[in-house]
Chains A and B, each alone.
Chain A
Amino acid sequence: MLMPPFTLHHPTSVEQACEIALQLMEDGQQFDWVAGGTDLIPNYKWHINTKPHVISLAKIEGANVISATEIGCMARLSDLTEANGAHPLIAEAASKVATSLIRRNATLGGNLCLDTRCFWFNQGEDWRRSIDWCLKADCGTGADCRVIPNQNTLCVATYQGDLAPNLMVLEAVVHIVGPSGEKQVPIGNFYQLDGKKKNILEAGEFLLKVTLPEESQQRTGCYQKLRVRDSWDFPEAGIAASWIAGDEKSLLIASTALESIPKMHDEQVSEVLEEGWTGAESVKSLSEAIQKSINPVNNTTLSTRYRKKMVRVLTKRAIEGFLR
């Protein structure tokens, strides 16, 4: 399986990265960013939406920083698994991604910006040609989506990153860099529908790092991941929850792998808190509310109905994980 040829750029600073990006954009050249490559390379091998240029972030000075309040885009998941100063919830989530071998290459930035997935899309070129392509990889044909048929405007590919909901319940802030400068966005606002757009990054922008507020260190949390095997597999559903011990008003819950973007469930939490927190009963209401608020589609391994039903179990277990 051969990747199509591309030019790989290795900037050693943020400024240089932006320069290269700007230059390519001015030349009308498309490009992708790459961090660890564990998401990009398999897709390139299958000739999925490949570009003639790829800009690697691997050599950017300081991009792999890990501390309680700052994690760079190049921080390897294997290093995060060992905490090295990062919040234990992040270490727990990182340890559940893929396999130990893949975690040595995979990065925080790559996992947050993980391309959305769908079994009509994540296939080799011959297979996709055989089904006449699809909306997310139409090869210029304007092909329809294969999950929600007869339309080519809404892509429902699923976001299956593990780290995002955990950073959401730690109130992380995303730092974006691009030719037009820097901006910071709470991670809850980083993701954007649909399955093709994925997040708010515009052409030429990349995620440089996330920062976490000091208060996040007081939080304890738990991440429940639903998958077929205890290794390799992307989440079929994931629930992250955290609170500041004893204060149920601080409860934060986020989900992943159920829609095209990970979601925060502040609305469902505040609805249940309004009724007064009663422990087990409230946990039950909350899990049911969150279950109602998501709508998975049939483009992952396990059945949609099952993933939706498991949200209740995952939420219950995530909260029970620290409620004692």
Chain B
Amino acid sequence: MSGGYKQQPGSEGNTTRKDGKRIAGKQSFPPPGSGGSRPIMAERDLQYIPEMAGGREKQPAGSHVHDSVRTGTAVGKSMKYVDSNAKVTGQAWYGDDVRLPNECIAKILRSPHHYAKIISIDTSKVEALPGVLAVATGKDSPNSFGVLPVTKDEHAMAVEKVRHVGDLVACVAAVDEATALHALSLFEVEYEELEPIFDPKKGLEDVDEPIHWRGKYHLAMTNVQKRVFQEFGDRSLIEKPSASNHNKWTMKGVHHGFTEPHAVVAHWDPNGRLQLYTPTQVPHYTHRALSTVLEVPMHQINVVRTFVGGGFGGKSDPFPHEMCAALLSRKCGRPVRITFDREEVYMINRGRHPSHIEVKMSADDQARITGFDIDALIDGGAFASFGHVTSYYNGVLATAPYELGSFHYTGARVWTNKPASGAMRGHGAVNTRCAVEVGLDQMAEDLSVDPIDLRLANLLPPHSKTISGFRITSNGMREALEKVRERSDWDNKFRQLPLGKGIGIGCGFFISGSGLPIHWDPNKFPHATVHIQVDMDGGVTVHSGAAEIGQGSTTAVAQVVAEVLALPIEMIHVRSHESDTSPVDLGSYSSRVTFMNANAAIRAAIGIRDKLLNAAWEMIGYHPDLLVLNDRRIYYKHDPSIGVSYLKALHKAQEDKGALISSGAYRSPPMGGVHKGAAAGLAPAYSFSAYVAETDVDIETGKIKCTNVWAAHDCGKALNPLAVKGQIIGSCHMGLGQVISEEMVYGRTGHLQNANLLEYKIPSVHEMPHVEPIIVESCDPEGPFGAKEAGEGPLLPILPAVVNSVYDAIGIRINDLPLTPDTVFFAIEKKMKALSIGDALELECPRLTHSAMQQVVVDRAAQHKVRDIARQRSDDTSPYVNGVLFGFDPNIPLEDQVEGWRAATEPLPEQLAELGFAGRAWLKKEQRQMGGEN
């Protein structure tokens, strides 16, 4: 009994002669690329092959376009990251690990002033210092750059003026660090100080010298960088609400706190090409920016992405220090290395915007949500970064997962003289989502219904459109809510726990990749391209631009290729480090990488697969439709003994051609409305999450301890469940920090006071709750094997879940984050005073007695569940738009059937009377409207 199907060609039969000598031409060990230590083909792993493709994996959403290429090899299986050995043995090379021969060290001179004009910079003493190799100032870099083409407001070093303490003024490269540091003290800079602003509300006012100038679009003489207005729906629905609430939130700025500080090595090679080594999330955008700043064509620059010790949006911009290193290296002809101290990491910032968020919401007598009115003023700091997009996300990402009668959003981002805010994990959606979810908790309380039931009765179904025109496809929100309700024993705990103990629910909704690219040049360029190359050894090289930042993109790409080709993952080699050999991928931000790169990788792998199947057809006579790929072998599906090894088929395919090449690209389908800003928030798919958190509050000290979290996240399909669970737990930690202790503290002089990891309070392991991650799989029709994002979405729900659990514990609503012990304590003290209670232990925590409305929402939720299952399975493919719940016909444009239906991106004059903070930006006129600049 041979025991299975052999892999290696040519090893049939004996390799030794009777006299013990080796038969000429026969190897006694397997040829390269063959079975290696596993010479027998493994059984097909039917648990990981969909039912519709002949396996046993259940498909509650019906068939998926990728079913036919599932082989049960890698998808859906928990595995360690392919680069984890390098990391745990300390051999991974991060930005600061790059050591080129003859390198020198550079340091940056930073502004001591919040806001000042640079009158002069005298570098003579610096240049005279022995050991100094090159010096550069703003004069060496007049071209501006920025991550978004619409807001290129940064320079390598300040030109004309500095805009925050820590802003780059000059840089110097020297033979060693000590010389470079000493050289910094020899710069003589003359400044003329200007009046700085720190309060974002001041950013709405006219000043003598705005921090940046937008030319004819500049709003009067303010520091408003961007203003947004969006209004959709039937505003009459919010009149005479059955319940409504109005809350104003203040969220402090937070920082990503990644372990690896920024670093860069720049080197102009002997052919005059720039090699830039940097731990970046966005090699392509950095590539473009370098070309602009250095005035060198992109094809003369190679961006090398090192290992990245954490990004989270803090490394997703092209940075001035990268430009400085390149400039200095060009001047002195040696590789230049810059490594940041932790303080400099805070100076470059790009953390979450400090925000003032105002939310009004209303519900009608059917407990339908008739309106969300949101006003978000966000503090952008000194530069735009991703802020143009953040200004939209603070509003538009609240248009789901609930069906709304109307939606109104005013947003504004202002410049202040502080380190710039950027796109931190969850980008713009986190703060508003927290305010909205807590508002829903309050709404449920006012209606005397369970907050989970209220949500279940108001969800948009799968395959629908939001009020703002976003296309929702797969939607696992309902399943996520039901699962956490059950796992947490919600029904026996909510509003029933003793004083000081509470349970709360929070939900999240996030994009899985921004639908439109931020650069339109060249037009119709794919969002991700992957090339696969297979040479005679059988190993598969995958060239991908996907930036591995610790989120596991390299592993995800390897997994999908291994799946399509039915090869062990050790045979897949992903090369994604340098722009010279990696096809362009737009970058690791907006949670796009798995969706877009894995899709491109699957397409490329299918190209190779087709070539292999055609070769096998020639060899064994059966058409590819009748062939199965499984564990390095291709065989006739009705008789596995009729087949060839992968290697044999490969060599056949390579006859006359040599190494095989295949290219796959992904571009999201056209979608969305045509109103101004319609693109912001569009995505080919969205993730949905629901978390329940249990929290203890020490009623005497105000200290919060989150004890348990049940975290359900709809990621479409978990390509690697271990990775998804890791992202859920990690997101809980990062989001929890924003709730209980993290804050960038700006003191009375405007300085950032806690630019270090002792005073910036990231939760320790003692603060972490026990997290039970629950994976929900709604199987997205366009996602790679059904997958959607799991990198940012999982962060959103933890904030409202914990905040709502605190209310359940102590009966006090606090609209400020973080909920540090003193904040909570003073809120408790205030309530005690109002109720004339002397001992905190006498406070009452909230209780719930269901009203008649409870049955209304339970019944509607049950109906909607039937509706949603049918839509998920594509049994019901009728159109569904936001508004059907209110009786509108999805087949007729809403503005044609509803009188007074609004779809506006500018306020009406009568709306200018009552505006929130951000709305006040609409009181100002643009320069061109004032007869100013044209």
Contacts and interface: CB of A to CB of B under 8 A. Distances in A.
B766 interface: yes
A230 interface: yes
B701 A233 contact: no
A124 B822 contact: no
Contacts of A124: 341, 343, 755
B147 interface: no
B747 A229 contact: no
A123 B343 CA distance: 9
B73 to A, nearest CB: 42
Contacts of A1: 341
B177 interface: yes
Contacts of A305: 822, 826
Main secondary structure of the interface of A (DSSP, over half): loop
Interface string A219-233: 000000010111111
Contacts of A233: 758, 761
Contact of B820 (A119, A127, A129, A302): A302
Nearest to B113: A130
Nearest to B181: A2
Interface stretch (A9-17, A176-184, A268-276, A306-314): A306-314
B706 to A, nearest CB: 13
Contact of A302 (B753, B758, B765, B822): B822
A126 interface: yes
B700 interface: yes
Contact of A229 (B754, B761, B825): B761
Nearest to B743: A301
B832 to A, nearest CB: 12
B768 to A, nearest CB: 11
Contacts of B755: 123-124, 127
A316 to B, nearest CB: 8
Contact of B751 (A130, A229, A232, A301): A130
B112 A119 contact: no
Given A2-B178, A129-B112, A130-B751, A301 B766 contact: no
A115 B112 CA distance: 26
B177 A303 contact: no
Given A230-B767, A301-B759, A306-B825, A130 B181 contact: no
A231 B765 contact: yes
B927 interface: no
A318 to B, nearest CB: 13
Contacts of A126: 110, 112, 166, 343
B165 interface: yes
A101 to B, nearest CB: 12
Contacts of B764: 99, 229-232
Contacts of A230: 764, 766-767
Contacts of B767: 229-230
B821 A131 contact: no
A313 B700 contact: yes
B749 A131 contact: yes
B741 interface: yes
B701 A229 contact: no
B763 interface: yes
B751 A127 contact: yes
Interface residues of A, number: 26
B747 A127 contact: no
B176 to A, nearest CB: 10
B754 A306 contact: no
A130 B761 contact: no
Interface string B694-723: 000000111000000000000000000000
B165 A303 contact: no
A226 B700 CA distance: 12
Contacts of A231: 764-766
Nearest to A146: B749
Nearest to A307: B822
Contact of B701 (A232, A303, A313): A313
B761 A306 contact: no
A309 B702 CA distance: 12
Contacts of B341: 1, 124
Contact of B822 (A119, A123, A229, A306): A306
Q: Give the residue among B165, B177, B749, B759 with the most A Cβ atoms within 10 A.
A: B759
Nearest to B340: A1
B751 A309 contact: no
A184 to B, nearest CB: 35
Interface in A156-198: none
Contacts of B749: 131
Contacts of A310: 701, 825
Contacts of A309: 825, 829
B821 A119 contact: no
Interface string A289-313: 0000000000001110110011001
A313 B701 CA distance: 7
A310 B766 CA distance: 21
Given A126-B112, A231-B765, A131 B751 contact: yes
A303 B824 CA distance: 12
B753 A130 contact: no
Interface in A207-253: 226, 228-233
Contacts of B165: 127, 130
A2 B176 CA distance: 11
Interface string B749-781: 101011100110101111100000000000000
Interface string B819-836: 011100110010000000
A321 to B, nearest CB: 14
A306 B700 CA distance: 11
B700 A229 contact: no
A131 B110 CA distance: 14
Given A126-B112, A131-B749, A229 B763 contact: yes
B112 A226 contact: no
Contact of A306 (B113, B343, B826): B826
B766 A302 contact: no
B821 A306 contact: yes
A233 B766 CA distance: 12
A1 B701 CA distance: 38
Contacts of B758: 232-233
Contacts of A131: 749, 751
Contacts of B753: 119, 123
Nearest to B184: A126
Given A229-B766, A232-B764, A130 B112 contact: yes
Interface in B313-349: 341, 343
Contacts of B166: 126
Given A2-B178, A119-B747, A301 B765 contact: no
Interface string B28-69: 000000000000000000000000000000000000000000
A228 B751 contact: no
Interface string A125-138: 01101110000000
A75 B758 CA distance: 24
B766 A119 contact: no
B343 A127 contact: yes
A128 to B, nearest CB: 10
B822 A303 contact: yes
A229 B753 CA distance: 18
Contacts of A130: 112-113, 165, 751
Contact of B741 (A2, A123, A127, A229): A229
B821 A228 contact: yes
A127 to B, nearest CB: 7
Given A229-B763, A301-B754, A309-B829, 17 more contacts: A2-B177, A119-B747, A123-B755, A124-B341, A126-B166, A131-B749, A228-B820, A229-B741, A229-B766, A232-B758, A233-B758, A301-B759, A302-B821, A303-B822, A305-B822, A306-B825, A309-B825
26 contacts: A119-B747, A119-B753, A123-B755, A124-B341, A126-B110, A130-B751, A131-B749, A226-B701, A228-B761, A228-B820, A229-B766, A230-B764, A231-B766, A232-B758, A232-B764, A301-B759, A301-B761, A302-B821, A303-B822, A305-B822, A306-B702, A306-B821, A306-B822, A306-B826, A310-B701, A310-B825
